[in-house]
Amino acid sequence: MRAYFHDNVDSDPKEPHEHLTSVTPEELKNLGVLYWHFDGDDYLEKVNGIAKERNYKNRDEITVSKEALGDSYESKLKIFFQEHLHEDEEIRYILDGSGYFDVRDLLDRWIRIAIVKGDLIVLPAGIYHRFIVDTNDYLKALRLFKEEPKWTPINRPADDNPHRLGYLQSLRDSG
C-alpha cells in the first residue's frame, strides 16, 4: 500500500495520478481507514484473525478483469469509480493484482491508496470513496462483510445519510 494525494488531472483514471505529497498510514487512520499487509503462506489465518476480531461473518471473492466480467466490465468500472459511500465497512483483502481506492479527506481532497496483493484495507461506513483498477486491468479480492453482504453503493451527494453523519461524528469524537 502506498498513499498520496491525487493530482486531479482529468486523464485516464487508471494511470497513477500521483501528486508529490504522500500520505502516511497514520493520516489514513485519522480518516478511519485501516490497513494491514499479510503475504506469507499463513495469510488466510491472519485474515481470519482480523475477521474474527472485527466480527466479519461473511465473505465472497471478486475478480475485476475483462475476462471475468465480460461485457459488463466497463459498466462495472463506471459504478465502482462513481463517488459513493456504503452503510457498512468496505473490507477488501487483495488476493492478486492491484488497483486504487480513492478516499476523500476532511478538506474534500482525493487521497489515492494504491493497493497490491497482500493488502487488507477497511474503509469505514460513510466515507466517500471510489475504486479503479490500474492499467493492468486486473484485481482479485476477498470481500468481507459483517452481516448479509450488501454491496450497494450510495452515490454522492448523500450528506444527510445517517451513516455519513455517523462517520463525521466519529471523526469529531476521536479527534
Contacting Ni ion within 34-93 (CB under 5 A): 90
For residue 69, give the C-alpha cell: 466480467
For Ni ion, the closer of residues 34 and 44 by Cβ is 34
- Provide the binding-site residues for ligand KMT, judged by CB under 6 A: 62, 64, 80, 90, 92, 131, 139, 141, 151, 153
- Closest distance of CB 92 from ligand KMT, Å: 5
Distant-in-sequence, close-in-space partners of 151: CB < 8 Å, separation ≥ 6: 86, 143
Task: Let me know how many helices (H) and strands (E) the chain has, helices first.
Answer: 5, 11
* Minimum distance from residue 173 beta carbon to ligand KMT (Å): 25
Nearer to Ni ion, 49 or 122 (CB): 122
C-beta separation of 132 from 13 below 8 A: yes
Q: Are 132 and 11 in contact (CB under 8 A)?
A: no
CB-based contact 25:37 (threshold 8 Å)? no
- The least CB distance from residue 74 to ligand KMT, in Å, is 14
Q: Which is nearer to ligand KMT, 111 or 141 (CB)?
A: 141
